[in-house]
Structure 1
Amino acid sequence: MTSNTDKLRAVFLTALMIGSVFAAGVAFTGGAAADATGVSATTVDREAGDTTTDVTVNYGAGNDSVAYVISADTSYDSGTDLYASSDSADGTSTTFSGVDVSSLDAGTYNVYAVANNTTSPTSEPAASEPTDGDDLTSWSNTDNTFDIQSPSDDTSFNDGGIVFQGQTASYDAEAADGDFGSQNGYTLYERTDSSTGAPVRELNEDSGWVNATTSGLDTGTTYFISNNGQNPSNADINFTIREQNFDVAFDGDETANDDTDIDVTFESTNRQNVRYNVTITSENLDDSELEEIFDDLSEDNSDFIASDIDVNDDDDDEDDGIALKLPSGGDVTAGANFSTIDAGEYEFSFEVSDTTASDTETLNVTEAAEANTEFIDVESVARGDVSTFNVSLTGTKTATLTIGTPSQGYQANVTVQDGNGDGYVAFDANTYKMAGKSINSNADLEPAFSVVNDDDSIEDVELANGQNIESPLDNGNYRTTVRSGPDANNTADDKSRLSITDNTGISGQNIWTAPGAIDKTEDVLDAATQDSSIVKGDYIVHEIQAQGIFGILADADSDLGAVISNGDLDLSTVQTDDSTQLNRNQKEINYSSGTTYETVSDAENNTLYIAVSTDNLNVTRNGDKVTDNPIDFGNDVFNTTVTLTESSDLVDENVSQSAEFSAEEIDHGLNQDTYNLTNAENQTITGYSNAAEGTDYNILVESTNTEGDGFIEPTNPATVDADGELSAEIDLSDASVGDEFEVVLEDPDADTADDASGTIVEEAPTQPTDSTTDEPTDTTTDEPTDTTTAEPTDTTTAESTTMEATDTTEDTDSSGGDIPGFTTGIALVAILGAALLALRE
């Protein structure tokens, strides 16, 4: 019989066993708290010359013996891995400073660490070195990684690339060769075939570099450097010897010693991607003169750098030539200047500094003609518009013009430069910006002048008189003079006058239209026809006749919105009263913002064009944007008024012109419901459209019932003509008599505009000339609307899929909680219950 004591003992042991299962994790965690808790090693940057790292081991208090291992993998190798230990650790971390890692290649390494407490009460053994082959993850308490960064590879050529004759092939062996430091020396080999190389010479290694001069090497031959034998597959690096192609040419055989430039071109067809130096010498020119000639190249291209240095390494930079650093690109040109050089013939030698490439050029320098400037033309202009000045320059590339005199109350000095050496400079003078309330300084005046040719330039602008003028320049004849050089006080070479006449302001406006499919504004104007009926998709083209507005537009870079906002020029497009719905205010098309348009100024013909896309109009009512049917095509009529305002100070009172255009509903279709055509070429199908003249449609013909393979003629352009008609010639020679077909008229968006049916007959009947006059209106009005309006709305509801998606996500929350099961609390309650039951019994 079992006693109560035995029962209680059994219950107690059972409880102890269960408790130990749940407490095991806690017991292990408590034991590990005293081990190494972290380890790190600093990055080694060999580019900066680093060869050591600092290893820091963190651990719990009480540990006094620590050790680390640096290894490329998880298995210990005493021959390559690094190990160190310390038995005098204190506190909670120990740093091993200056650990030498020079024996390790560049890469990412693991660092492992252990920490032990050799004192009471644990009395663990001191940290010790693992045995070869030990798993370091098992040996250690913690691990981390660190990088040994390799130095950048500064090899002077690419593997398999070109080394030019005369260069030295410099191989950065320390950075690039993983086998650097081995006992094998480096050798230069000539590649004889894919598996064999013939030794050429042994190469010295100096501070990590292996250099192979190209002296004695054959052009066109491939060589390789190796410290692993003569098999090319083991080569450290390969290269092929080439002769650099190099040519120098002046743009002409002679130049004058004035301040104009002559272009010089440096060309190398096989050395294009890097900059390189050229040494320039000439027997009759010293270094300072050479530098003056070629330093001018940097004005055209700042990447040209001329310098008087010690070219021949004799510790003396005198009379040994100059160095010119060329831009990359292979074919570079800039202007050289001989203004300080005596007349005579000069031979120039050009030698590439690091290769054997060279060239010579001869140039005859002539005495400069006496500098002279004169007016070719000064354009008369209406007040507020832009005048063009054209000046000729001889023996100089700089001229200064004076516009006006003190007695006229205005004087501006403008210095221009002939940048392309053609002897001419043309520039525009904006009479709207040359004077006025905001023009009080040289900086204010600068925007009034701009060169016509981008190669030329405005060098300086000076407002000598006219700071207090309150409006654009008055009408009148302004004396103009020109002289060479930058000094306005020099004697003038020529004189002329700027004639500013009275302007008419806005004198007329016409409405044109053009097909909406055209992208470029110039093409829109070419295709435009005078027509004030506009359908959706077409351009509205405002043709405005005016004087005095082109300076305003030029000042705003033709940004019409900015001009309108400024208030000098106004453009409003407002719905007419007759087309406005009852009890509604008129709509307005806002051209200052939100509407897509382009402007083209034809100042020569006093005409401004504004091309407006009807696909992107900012329509407002009472200042609010109209988003629902902004333009009611078939009803709306708009009046556009263009005004040159009195606030521009160009007119005494507002000057306006208006024009109307109507928004028409598109009306297009085929001229017949059925067609009888023959199986031949040039079968004509006609249609009509009120879209802009030049609008492109397409007519598609496809068989619907045929005994043969059937046919389709998908692309048959049909363009709207001046009478609103369109037609296409169809090749039906592949069809057979009796075949039935469908005709589809496609609009510019490739949508179906109309369709008809047809039959191939032996001979098409003659159609009465007036039989198709009224049919289009009767047969194409209602059907397209009935068949395409409501279907999308009926078939695209998404309620059911939305609700289902919401319902299916509820289970996610219910699946994330605890799963009922056997826990410590329940187990102990059961045990206590058993114990009480035992006592009761």
Structure 2
Amino acid sequence: MTSDPSYREKGRAVFLAAIMIVSVFAMSAAFAGTAVADDPEEETLEQAYDDPGPVWVDGDVETAYLGQEIEIEGDSLEGESSVILYEGPASLDDPDRVASIQIYHDEDRHWGEFETADLEPDEAYHFAAGSSEFDGEEFWTDEEDLDVEFDVNTVTQDEAVDLEFDSERDLQHLNVTSDDFDGDELDDIFSYTDGWQNDYTDDVLTLENVPADIDIEVEFDDVDPDEYEFEFETTDSFAWDNASIEVVDDDASVDFADDIGGERGDVVDIPIELEHVQTGAVQIGDYDDDNFQAAAQFDVDDYSADEITLQFDTYAPNEGEDSWSVHPDDEDEYDVEILEAETSINFDEGEALGVHDYEIIAGTSYDDEGEHAAVEDDSETDTNFFSVFEPEPVSDVDFEIAPAGTDLGDYEEYDEAHTTSSSDVAFHDELVVTLEDFGMSGAVDAMSDDDVGAMLEDAGMNLTLEEQDPGPNVDAIVWSTASDDEDADYEIDVTAVYTDLEDYDGDLVATIDYADAEAFDEGGYDLTLEVTEDSMFADDEDEEMEIESSFEVLEPELDLHPDNDEVPNSDDAEVTGTTTVAPGSEISTSASSAGNFTDGADAVVDADGTFTAVYDFSEYEAGVDFELEAEHDDRSEFEDYADDLEDDMDAVLVDAEDPLINLDATAPGEVEPGEDAALDVTVSNDGGASDDVDVVVTIDGEELENETVTLDAGDEWSESFEFDTAEEADIDWEVTAGEEADSDTVTVVAQEEPDDEDADDEDAVDDGAGDDDEEPADDDETPGFGVAVAVVALLAAAMLALRRQE
């Protein structure tokens, strides 16, 4: 489409329109101060089209499009010899005179005519007409917009395409010209409907009474391959546009762009290449051979699209046309639409499409006349296989935590949220579980209200939580996502974070609403995904499986570090603390000294559970006492734990130029005989001056370290000391660093062996996949994951063996 020409250039359009019509109105106004025209009774007013411009009767004035010839008419003009046209509204003082319009009279009619070619756009004009009803009447000028384009940029020989017209006027006449076709040829190319007509001369085709927003069919029978341009001009205004199309001698086709397939239960992509078509059809399967057949007809609104992707839901192939969809990217970018679709099955409603290689056919036409919808035989252009594979079970279960109150309602919020991989969650923080390689995108896409439990139940699966340590004399409490689980004590809600296939990559991400579940408390929990024989992952009871993992719910706590009792009076003094709440949580701290200062600083919890707030105490002298306070910004989210998420302590400013020695000594509280254990000691100088520090380390009464270390400002000294854990014992240790000291005890004790009855109970719940000689996973090293990984690996091996036997 080209840009509009100037009004003077468009004078050519007005002239062309005038000479190409069989006869036209005589020009009656010349805008040179007055308009004097020949008597129109001497002119032939017959014309090849109706209404070349508006006729305003007795002041019935509307908008005038630039270039139009306007006629005013009415009995009120009977006594007028002329009407003056002024620029501006009628209320304007001393307006500029534009033209004098001569009024003609006969026995039945009184009228005048004027041209709008030289009027300004988007301006008001008014008439001065004596006693006529036109006196003081106003109208506005406007530039007419006309858009004309073919709905494709190429067309094959002997094919037809739609030419789209868009105009703000309800009805108008258009002159069509082309350097490549004369009027007679244009008349053959353009098709017509009963609502409007056409006429043509040697070089111009006039389309008469063309409605706005209409599509006209243009046929290119016997037209040679080439690129052709057409120009369209309204017959009464300056509006115009042009449109081009290329005629090619290639065949139209719909082809498959790649191999097609996916796991059973998935929504499978069907990539399609388009060659000179915007409407096509796809068929999957043959009802007689496969007990299944599905077909769809699609339309592409954007002719620039040369590849699109349709989708078919193998999880719900019995949903009629709902099984078909358009990939969201193509739906938005190219305005692709499923026009018609049908699915026929010869198996139970609600059952997923079976594992098989189904023939898939592409073509240019859709046939819905037969018993089952199909691609029309004569229009087939490509064939391939639509492969449905055996689904793989969940490969692993991962946990993430996020600060309490974090919005996790869709993929974007989840992607931007501060989440941390962890199986330890402070009560009321968000707990996110990911079932890796869950697949079944069809089930996920169809999920109602993001309810994972209902979706799992429909798919023959269930998610349960069981407390690890219920205490003596009571059974462990069990929570389930299934409402009818007779083995569960309570229900628990699990909500999908996002289900849009545009974002879903096979890993099901959901939040466990444990904080709202009845009877839930702090402690460790086993999470089990139960896959029953009713699922597509198991053909019978022998193939049922359980995928396990675990997590721990902690008490929300916040503590200021004891080392904050002395804070340097520097401009970057650090106040630190520890907490069990999720990394990313916001902490507020304050420091106040009566008569000296009140200050505050914010902090964010780091991945290791610590937080650091920075103060500027540089203007205060050493020796000033003050109180430190810290609290979780969202304590209200933690209900009964709110008081545990605040702390305060007394502190004093010390000279930042003096040394500030801090000691950090850590060791395990309990280990098994022969297990490696060590005492890690770190002495740091957080002050502003060097210092000599006496470091003494004593383990089980034996002095292992006694030396003086020199620490410059900002330096630290670290060392690790091994414990002798060969025998059961209580091993005391003590560390001093200058005036700082710390001590504790490491207990070496063997774990109790289960008696025969306990062993029998263990064997009873063992699914047979374990190895009696295999060492148990070390919970300290891989909390919540060692068992899950082992079980998944063994189950996968078992399933592989079964499939090979089949």
Instruction: State the TM-score, normalizing by the size of structure 1.
Output: 0.53
Q: Residues of 1 paired with 2:316 and 2:442: CA distance?
A: 7
Residue 513 (1) aligns with residue 398 (2): no
Where do 1:87-166 residues align within 5 Å?
Answer: 156-157=62-63, 164=66, 166=68
Q: Report the AA paired with residue 309 of structure 1.
A: W
Q: Residues of 2 paired with 1:581 and 1:307: CA distance?
A: 90
Where do 1:529-544 residues align within 5 Å?
Answer: 529-544=420-435
Match of 1:449 among 299, 320, 324: 324
Match of 2:730? none
Match of 1:189? 86
Q: Report the AA paired with residue 495 of structure 2.
A: Y
Report the structure number with the largest CA radius of gyration. 1
Residue 598 (1) aligns with residue 496 (2): yes
Match of 1:423? 306
Match of 2:177? 282
What is the CA deviation profile of residues 519-574 of structure 1, one whole-angstrom value per residue up to 9, with x for unaligned ones? 45434356433322222442221111355633322343684358448632444444
* Secondary structure in structure 2 of the residue aligned to 1:552: helix
Match of 1:690? 580
What is the CA deviation profile of residues 102-135 of structure 1, one whole-angstrom value per residue up to 9, with x for unaligned ones? xxxxxxxxxxxxxxxxxxxxxxxxxxxxxxxxxx
Q: Which runs of 5+ in 1 are unaligned?
A: 1-152, 175-182, 230-234, 293-305, 328-332, 621-629, 775-841
Match of 2:529 among 622, 642, 645: 642
Alpha-carbon contact 2:73-2:112 (below 8 Å) kept: yes
Q: Report the AA paired with residue 119 of structure 2.
A: D
Q: Residues of 1 paired with 2:423 and 2:95: CA distance?
A: 84
User: Over aligned residues, Cα RMSD in angstroms?
Assistant: 5.4
Match of 1:215 among 116, 128, 141: 116
Match of 1:478? 358
Alpha-carbon contact 1:533-1:663 (below 8 Å) kept: yes
- Give the C-alpha shift of residue 724 in structure 1: 0.9
Match of 1:19? none
Match of 1:432 among 292, 297, 315: 315
Distance 1:711 1:562, change over 3 A: closer
Match of 2:656? 763
Identity %: 17
Match of 2:778? none
Match of 2:634 among 746, 749, 752: 749
Q: Report the AA paired with residue 409 of structure 1.
A: D
* Secondary structure in structure 2 of the residue aligned to 1:473: coil
Q: Residues of 2 paired with 1:445 and 1:671: CA distance?
A: 64
Match of 2:247? 366
Q: Residues of 1 paired with 2:607 and 2:73: CA distance?
A: 76
Q: Report the AA paired with residue 370 of structure 1.
A: D
Alpha-carbon contact 1:742-1:757 (below 8 Å) kept: yes
Alpha-carbon contact 2:150-2:162 (below 8 Å) kept: yes
- Give the C-alpha shift of residue 650 in structure 1: 5.2
Match of 1:321? 207
Distance 1:309 1:698, change over 3 A: farther
Match of 2:238? 356
Q: Residues of 2 paired with 1:278 and 1:675: CA distance?
A: 91
Q: Report the AA paired with residue 383 of structure 2.
A: K
- Give the C-alpha shift of residue 378 in structure 1: 3.1
Q: Report the AA paired with residue 321 of structure 1.
A: L
Distance 1:248 1:431, change over 3 A: closer
Residue 611 (1) aligns with residue 501 (2): no
Match of 1:404? 285
- Give the C-alpha shift of residue 657 in structure 1: 2.4
What is the CA deviation profile of residues 441-493 of structure 1, one whole-angstrom value per residue up to 9, with x for unaligned ones? xxx43222222132323344455674579943333333333344333424754
Where do 1:433-832 residues align within 5 Å?
Answer: 433-434=316-317, 439=318, 444-452=319-327, 453-454=330-331, 455-463=335-343, 466=346, 471-486=351-366, 487-490=375-378, 492-515=380-403, 516-519=405-408, 521-522=410-411, 523-524=413-414, 527-546=418-437, 549-556=440-447, 559-560=450-451, 563-564=454-455, 567-576=458-467, 578-579=469-470, 586=477, 588=479, 595=493, 597-600=495-498, 606-612=506-512, 617=516, 619-620=517-518, 631-632=520-521, 635=522, 637-648=524-535, 651=538, 652-653=540-541, 654-672=544-562, 674=565, 676-680=567-571, 682-699=572-589, 705-706=595-596, 716=602, 718-730=603-615, 735-737=619-621, 744-749=629-634, 753-755=646-648, 763=656, 765-770=658-663
* Secondary structure in structure 2 of the residue aligned to 1:479: strand
Instruction: State the TM-score, normalizing by the size of structure 2.
Output: 0.55
Alpha-carbon contact 1:418-1:457 (below 8 Å) kept: yes
Alpha-carbon contact 2:254-2:275 (below 8 Å) kept: yes
Q: Residues of 2 paired with 1:561 and 1:171: CA distance?
A: 74
* Secondary structure in structure 2 of the residue aligned to 1:512: strand
* Secondary structure in structure 2 of the residue aligned to 1:553: helix
Distance 1:731 1:450, change over 3 A: farther
Q: Report the AA paired with residue 479 of structure 1.
A: E
Q: Report the AA paired with residue 351 of structure 1.
A: E
Q: Residues of 2 paired with 1:505 and 1:729: CA distance?
A: 49
Q: Residues of 1 paired with 2:457 and 2:525: CA distance?
A: 24
**Range 724-733 or range 590-599, more displaced:** 590-599
Distance 1:748 1:597, change over 3 A: farther
What is the CA deviation profile of residues 63-84 of structure 1, one whole-angstrom value per residue up to 9, with x for unaligned ones? xxxxxxxxxxxxxxxxxxxxxx
Q: Report the AA paired with residue 429 of structure 1.
A: F
Q: Residues of 2 paired with 1:398 and 1:239: CA distance?
A: 46
- Give the C-alpha shift of residue 324 in structure 1: 5.0
Alpha-carbon contact 2:440-2:506 (below 8 Å) kept: no
Q: Report the AA paired with residue 753 of structure 1.
A: E
Q: Report the AA paired with residue 219 of structure 1.
A: E
Match of 1:122? none
Alpha-carbon contact 1:667-1:689 (below 8 Å) kept: yes
* Secondary structure in structure 1 of the residue aligned to 2:257: strand
Q: Residues of 2 paired with 1:580 and 1:521: CA distance?
A: 39
Q: Residues of 2 paired with 1:720 and 1:173: CA distance?
A: 87
Q: Residues of 2 paired with 1:458 and 1:532: CA distance?
A: 45
- Give the C-alpha shift of residue 218 in structure 1: 3.1
Match of 1:788? none
Residue 392 (1) aligns with residue 273 (2): yes
Alpha-carbon contact 1:416-1:456 (below 8 Å) kept: no
Match of 1:382? 263
Alpha-carbon contact 2:569-2:616 (below 8 Å) kept: no
Distance 1:378 1:679, change over 3 A: same
Distance 1:375 1:163, change over 3 A: closer
Alpha-carbon contact 2:364-2:381 (below 8 Å) kept: yes
Alpha-carbon contact 1:186-1:225 (below 8 Å) kept: yes
Q: Report the AA paired with residue 553 of structure 2.
A: A
- Give the C-alpha shift of residue 668 in structure 1: 2.0
Q: Report the AA paired with residue 607 of structure 2.
A: A
Where do 1:203-242 residues align within 5 Å?
Answer: 215=116, 218-219=119-120, 222-225=124-127, 241=141
